[in-house]
Every structure is written in structure tokens, then in C-alpha cells.
């Protein structure tokens, strides 16, 4: 996973923290929906840069990391298809980066809290959030919310992260909540765009020439 993607995500954490007062920022907890663990890697980079926060790993049925943190045994199972499909990864590529960051900063992996939800629990959380607050959560955000709710300690201020606009998961969201959500204007035009695929050799030099030629 290219580090440039993670560096961009680092800024999201500081942007979120900036919405709180200086005093509140001392007690932040980020609950991150985790699949390939890139987003939480970015969060830990932000922490290394000075962000004061605790982190909660929020997973679906693909719970390799929660089981590892509990038992100390790395035992990936076959990947299970779930509602939160961006998290359907049982062998996360970014996990070695998480461990490396913790070693470099002298952080204990035990400081990472964690939790998991089944699809049934995810649906119930989505319904509960919508009924109580009117907030439409896509499945990944719903998992992050519920795990945060379960793990938040007295005096802490929680922030739960989502994966995308609920419209990206319109079929499941509408089925579960009985809604008919619309695509944001910015996305409506993209739906009509022509898909483009290019076949090329799996060679870096070939890719580089193509990018330099086409992406000016």
C-alpha cells in the first residue's frame, strides 16, 4: 500500500481534532473501521506527530486482529463476505506497519482497544442510530459507532469514522432503513462517466510511461 495514501489520511485526524476545544482534545478516542488497517495506521502516524488520542479497532466477522490481540496467536481465517465489504480482509497488509509504529514509539499493542460486530448487529446499530438521531450510517460507520459506544470510558470523547457516503451502499442502506437516499450532486455526474480500462504489462517502466503521457 503506497504510503502517500496514508499520509493524506493523517490530515483527517488533525482536522477532526481541530473541531474540539484544547481541553477536549486531551480526551479523544477514535474508533476506526478496519479492514486492511491503512486508516488506523494513518491515525497512529498522526499520534506519533503529536495527536493525543486513544484508538479503537472496529472489525466485522473478519476479526484476525482482535483475536490476535486477545490471544497472541496470528490465525487468519478464510475471508467472510459481509455488509461492510471494505473490511472483508483477513490478512491485512498494513498490520506490520501498525506493529512497527508501536515498536518505534514504545507503545504497547495492548493499548489498542478492539471489538467486532456481526452483520445482524450492524443492521441493528444502523436502525438504532437512524431511529434515535436521524443519522444514516453506512455499515462500516455503524460498526465503528457501536464498538466505540461499547469501549468508551468515563470522561472520554469519542469520534467514529466512516468509509464513504451512505449512497455508495445505497442498496443495503435503503433495505435496512427503509430509506431512498440520493447520490450527492458531486457523485451524480460521476455515475454517467464512461468506464476506462487499459491493459499493460506488469512492469513499472511501462506504467510510468503511461502515467507521464496520459496524466498531464
Which comes out higher in pLDDT, residue 173 or 195? 173
User: What is the model's pLDDT at position 140?
Assistant: 98
Residue 148 lies in a domain: yes
Look at residue 174 and give its three-state secondary structure. helix
In a domain, 177, yes or no: yes
Mean pLDDT throughout 177-193? 87
pLDDT tens by residue, 58-68:
999 999 999 99
Q: Looking at the domain assignment, is residue 64 inside a domain? A: yes
pLDDT of 129 over the 90 cut: yes
List alpha helices for 106-203, DSSP H.
119-133, 139-151, 170-177, 185-191
Is 215 within a domain?
no
Using a pLDDT cut of 90, give the percent of the chain over it: 88
Give domain status of residue 30, yes or no.
Answer: yes
**Distance from C-alpha of 94 to C-alpha of 132, rounded to nearest angstrom:** 35
Query: Which grid coordinates belong to 157?
Result: 470523547
| 3-class state of residue 81 by DSSP | coil
Range of the domain at 24: 3-184
- Whether 213 is covered by a domain: the verdict is no
**Averaged pLDDT for residues 134-150:** 98
Could you give the CA distance from residue 171 to residue 185 in angstroms, rounded to a whole number?
18
pTM of the model: 0.89
**H or E, element range at 33:** strand 28-33
Q: How many domains does the chain contain in total?
A: 1
Question: Does any domain span residue 190?
Answer: no
| Residue 216, pLDDT score | 73
> Is the per-residue pLDDT at 1 higher than 80?
no
Mean pLDDT of 109-131: 98
Residues 130, 136 contacting (CB under 8 angstroms): yes
Residue 154 lies in a domain: yes
CATH of the domain at 45: 3.40.50.1100
Position 167 scores a pLDDT of 92
Amino acid at each position: 500500500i503506497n504510503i502517500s495514501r496514508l499520509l493524506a489520511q493523517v490530515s483527517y485526524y488533525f482536522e477532526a481534532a481541530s473541531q474540539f476545544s484544547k481541553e477536549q482534545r486531551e480526551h479523544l478516542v477514535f474508533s476506526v473501521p478496519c479492514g486492511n488497517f491503512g486508516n488506523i495506521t494513518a491515525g497512529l502516524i498522526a499520534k506519533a506527530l503529536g495527536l493525543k488520542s486513544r484508538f479503537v479497532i472496529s472489525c466485522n466477522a473478519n476479526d484476525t486482529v482482535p483475536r490476535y490481540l486477545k490471544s497472541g496467536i496470528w490465525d487468519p481465517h478464510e475471508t467472510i463476505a459481509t455488509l461492510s465489504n471494505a473490511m472483508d480482509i483477513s490478512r491485512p497488509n498494513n498490520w506490520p506497519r501498525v506493529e512497527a509504529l508501536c515498536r518505534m514509539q514504545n507503545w504497547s499493542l495492548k493499548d489498542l482497544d478492539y471489538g467486532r460486530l456481526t452483520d445482524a448487529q450492524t443492521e441493528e446499530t444502523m436502525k438504532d442510530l437512524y431511529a434515535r438521531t436521524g443519522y444514516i450510517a453506512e455499515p462500516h460507520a455503524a460498526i465503528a459507532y457501536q464498538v466505540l459506544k461499547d469501549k468508551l470510558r468515563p470522561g472520554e470523547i469519542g469520534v467514529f469514522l466512516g468509509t464513504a457516503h451512505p449512497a455508495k451502499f445505497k442498496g443495503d442502506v435503503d433495505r435496512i432503513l427503509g430509506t431512498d437516499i440520493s447520490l450527492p450532486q458531486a457523485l451524480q455526474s460521476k455515475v454517467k462517466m464512461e468506464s476506462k480500462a487499459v491493459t499493460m504489462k506488469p512492469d513499472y517502466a511501462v506504467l510510468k510511461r503511461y502515467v507521464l503521457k496520459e496524466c498531464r
